[in-house]
A and B are shown apart, each in its own frame.
Chain A
């Protein structure tokens, strides 16, 4: 008979030391420390040293350079051109405040736009019943379908001087007498806002739905109503959810590489931190440049600050859920005439605009020719066939499937062990584990990529793990990166499932003589299997569409590159190739739709796939 162990109780929350419980704590903790924290630390070491001595040199040189910080800004926000045919074109591209301020401004602007639009859609969807609501419901998911590069490419086309927007507002409706072209930083911002606002929508919608209607009824009962009710009760109660979504948007925008790469025809779009890290890495390859490390650290700091700020704020204000449990009938009403007008005349066109990129991806993958015109000329299945028959395309797909598959196996193991440890035991390590598992959400992918580069080239020179070596095999590094970056999706799903299972179900099993493993395998795992399945499906499809590490470390060996890296390559090369990239994007869309439908239908979890809390 074992004696109680004080340290086991303190660390793991089990008075009798149990190897399986200790493993559940230590395995995910070790994995995340080694493959998430240590690479960042390695980068810190490099960024903070100059000629072998600890120094702020690189930070000072970055922050004092007008390339990175430029106040007052350069360039014209809006400029006017007259074409040979006499058209007036206004070009909107933003001004240059230097790389760091540009990044901050673009991300802030994207966050504000996405929050505004997302919250309005969420409120309408949560509180009003109108014809076509189901169309809205489905359409609002569409911008979430990730098709790296192609998506931004279509958005860029939409805002060209002869693109869709000018076609509608200038050529058809004659609402504007000039043509508007959006490019540069403004283009990046609009592409990101269009892609990310549904993230705020989903979080805000969940918050609005979770507000106990009696709280609003009581306010009305006391004489409040209309905008006053929204401002004093509804909005404050939903704010933690909205803020959580907004933070994700901020981080996503900060780390996004696809939009700057697509818009790089305008040099202003290159002046963003994510693009700078990327292009410097690809350009001065082989050098372990401290400047890239320092830039990565600055980016990471901004993301972590946003993340921690929101975690603190949300945990302080968990009141949306505190009123009595139980199901309630949501407050849904018919819109008044002026509200209906807003819905159909403003929101519906906006929604159609934001789903156009995905429609465009589908059009592109079947378009015979589609360059400067508003719509494609003729259709063909050539590109879809190319995707299967071209050896480079086929091998990229197979590589992605293998890397993502292997990553998902790790993710399942990590999310089950970490959820079990953090959700079932009250050891001192539990809160640490709980936060570290969702930490990857706050770490920009490009930062992880750079961290791995510095760590593996430093620790394992001239091995297949060393990105600088000619023997480099990106498989291992990419599997690691995917398993870390996409862990939060599965971990949150599994953790939520675990909390639905009352602990007495496991205690009853142990009490009847089952061992710890017997209890986990016969009772716990069967009861959370759907959550594990749903979570790993999402992790899998989002691994397939991962960009940051894929187009940097993954791009180093052409024969072993994943899909997204191949897509980035061909996007930037000859005409016609864009269509193959679009076909690959279509493949990703189909995979994501399948996963989301499966998760929603089988596990009845809604909105589980993107969110912070």
Chain B
């Protein structure tokens, strides 16, 4: 088990820059997730840590050891591939025992360890099966067992749930969490699914076009996104382009369309901003410390246990999410509506060129 440090890692493939100098620190025994849309560089980062690709510049270290150019077979950062990469010509037992045989462990010890690993992933009894005779979920478990049995310094998981159906995905998600806690190992997890990332991770790094936008706990990332990209990537949210029109200390007034919002926290220099408001923080009745905006109801969408009210404010659509109550029932399409938002729930962030 190790901590992993990446410093200024740059990687290009031909003309395209996959990683533009990223730095990360993954602690001992934590489950750390790289989250981002496809093409953001998360898989490249993973492959560089696994030793399957090598950076153009920058340093990768495990604890105090520089492993940047150590070959994959020597570094003990074991990867569970997205497609599991089980060898079709070997039984479950031989797949799992592979890494141990390479280490030339005695037969009894290999037997013992394989048994342990298969128990851990709850596949005892399937040793003699071949990968094609297993379900997707079982293949996934074999791949995890094969990686864990060699006691990796760090376990790398590349979109491990993407090939499973919805129900199995939830099940495997908690399995992975259980195993990680049981063994206390360092895990690096890659996904593009923000919900999956939030549910499973100790910490998350949100990546976009070859850079790390923000690193933090799921709560940090969701509640206090530091960039427009992170705010818009983490769940459904309102991102409204606006302009700073007045500054008082670290409070500002911003304008969008004909609306003016006063007294919002913002300390950056840039006047082109976005106002980020989570739909569930918008109220339909007056509250303390709130700004209010009035517009027209565009749509009311029923989701069952909650309702979304889409308001039009000039040409800007803002979504509010609420439970069905008296205020909602009074609303009619094209009728008047007023949204109330606690000032402290409004984030003002510099506008990014996304």
List chain A positions with a Cβ less than 8 A from chain B.
1-4, 15-16, 502, 504-505, 507-515, 518, 522-523, 526-527
Scoring B52, B71, B83, B89 by chain A CB atoms within 10 A of each residue's CB, the highest score goes to: B71
The answer to whether A511 touches B79 (Cβ under 8 A) is yes
The answer to whether B50 touches A511 (Cβ under 8 A) is yes
The answer to whether A16 touches B54 (Cβ under 8 A) is yes
Judged by a CB distance under 8 angstroms, whether B222 is at the interface is no
The answer to whether A511 touches B51 (Cβ under 8 A) is yes
Pull 21 A–B residue pairs with CB atoms less than 8 Å apart, ordered by A: A1-B67, A1-B68, A3-B69, A4-B69, A502-B83, A504-B81, A504-B85, A505-B85, A507-B52, A507-B85, A508-B87, A508-B146, A509-B98, A511-B50, A511-B52, A512-B73, A512-B78, A513-B73, A513-B74, A513-B76, A527-B88
The answer to whether A515 touches B85 (Cβ under 8 A) is no
C-alpha spacing A4/B146, complex, angstroms: 29
A8 CB, nearest partner CB in chain B, Å:
11
The answer to whether B150 touches A512 (Cβ under 8 A) is yes
Judged by a CB distance under 8 angstroms, whether B102 is at the interface is yes
Judged by a CB distance under 8 angstroms, whether B263 is at the interface is no
Interface residues of B in 5-57 (CB under 8 A from A): 50-54
The answer to whether A507 touches B72 (Cβ under 8 A) is yes
C-alpha spacing A1/B54, complex, angstroms: 13
Count B interface residues, CB 8 Å.
Answer: 33
B37 CB, nearest partner CB in chain A, Å:
22
Q: Nearest 7 CB-CB pairs, A to B?
A: A512-B99, A504-B85, A508-B85, A15-B54, A504-B81, A513-B102, A510-B72
Interface residues of B in 89-133 (CB under 8 A from A): 89, 98-99, 102-103
Scoring B66, B72, B76 by chain A CB atoms within 10 A of each residue's CB, the highest score goes to: B72
C-alpha spacing A261/B97, complex, angstroms: 62
Chain B residues with Cβ below 8 Å from A15 are 53-54, 69
Judged by a CB distance under 8 angstroms, whether B267 is at the interface is no
Chain A residues with Cβ below 8 Å from B50 are 511
Judged by a CB distance under 8 angstroms, whether B70 is at the interface is yes
C-alpha spacing A514/B72, complex, angstroms: 9
Chain B residues with Cβ below 8 Å from A1 are 66-70
The answer to whether B99 touches A513 (Cβ under 8 A) is yes
Chain A residues with Cβ below 8 Å from B85 are 502, 504-505, 507-508
C-alpha spacing A526/B87, complex, angstroms: 10
Contact with A along B125-158 (1 / 0, CB 8 A): 0000000000000000000001100100000000
Chain B, Cβ-Cβ closest to A527: B89
List chain B positions with a Cβ less than 8 A from chain A.
50-54, 66-74, 76-79, 81-83, 85-89, 98-99, 102-103, 146-147, 150
The answer to whether A515 touches B52 (Cβ under 8 A) is no
Chain B residues with Cβ below 8 Å from A510 are 52, 71-73
C-alpha spacing A602/B87, complex, angstroms: 20
Chain A, Cβ-Cβ closest to B54: A15
Q: A504-B81, A507-B52, A507-B81 are in contact. Are A513 and B88 (CB under 8 A)?
A: no
Chain A, Cβ-Cβ closest to B14: A426
The answer to whether A508 touches B70 (Cβ under 8 A) is no
C-alpha spacing A502/B66, complex, angstroms: 30
C-alpha spacing A2/B67, complex, angstroms: 10
C-alpha spacing A512/B149, complex, angstroms: 10
A373 CB, nearest partner CB in chain B, Å:
58
The answer to whether A508 touches B81 (Cβ under 8 A) is yes
B315 CB, nearest partner CB in chain A, Å:
40
A374 CB, nearest partner CB in chain B, Å:
55
Chain B residues with Cβ below 8 Å from A526 are 89
A511 CB, nearest partner CB in chain B, Å:
5
Scoring B82, B83, B102 by chain A CB atoms within 10 A of each residue's CB, the highest score goes to: B102
Scoring B53, B81, B85 by chain A CB atoms within 10 A of each residue's CB, the highest score goes to: B85
Q: With A510-B73, A527-B89 given, can you name 13 additional A-B contacts, CB distance below 8 Å? A: A1-B68, A3-B69, A15-B53, A15-B54, A16-B54, A504-B81, A504-B85, A505-B85, A509-B87, A512-B99, A512-B146, A513-B76, A527-B88
Chain A, Cβ-Cβ closest to B95: A508
C-alpha spacing A214/B80, complex, angstroms: 38
C-alpha spacing A514/B85, complex, angstroms: 15
Chain A, Cβ-Cβ closest to B71: A16
Chain A residues with Cβ below 8 Å from B68 are 1
Chain A residues with Cβ below 8 Å from B83 are 502, 504
Chain A, Cβ-Cβ closest to B67: A1
C-alpha spacing A4/B57, complex, angstroms: 10
C-alpha spacing A504/B88, complex, angstroms: 12
A197 CB, nearest partner CB in chain B, Å:
39
The answer to whether B102 touches A514 (Cβ under 8 A) is yes
C-alpha spacing A131/B67, complex, angstroms: 68
C-alpha spacing A510/B147, complex, angstroms: 12
A525 CB, nearest partner CB in chain B, Å:
10
A498 CB, nearest partner CB in chain B, Å:
15
Q: Which of B73, B87, B102 contacts A505 (CB 8 A)?
A: B87
C-alpha spacing A386/B89, complex, angstroms: 47
C-alpha spacing A16/B52, complex, angstroms: 11
B354 CB, nearest partner CB in chain A, Å:
31
Chain A residues with Cβ below 8 Å from B71 are 2, 16, 510
Chain B residues with Cβ below 8 Å from A509 are 87, 98
A86 CB, nearest partner CB in chain B, Å:
73
Chain B residues with Cβ below 8 Å from A508 are 79, 81, 85, 87, 146
Q: A4-B54, A15-B54 are in contact. Are A511 and B72 (CB under 8 A)?
A: yes
Q: A15-B54, A505-B85, A523-B87 are in contact. Are A512 and B102 (CB under 8 A)?
A: yes
Chain A residues with Cβ below 8 Å from B74 are 513
Q: Which of A16, A504, A512, A527 contacts B98 (CB 8 A)?
A: A512
The answer to whether B73 touches A514 (Cβ under 8 A) is yes
Chain B, Cβ-Cβ closest to A504: B85
The answer to whether B102 touches A518 (Cβ under 8 A) is yes
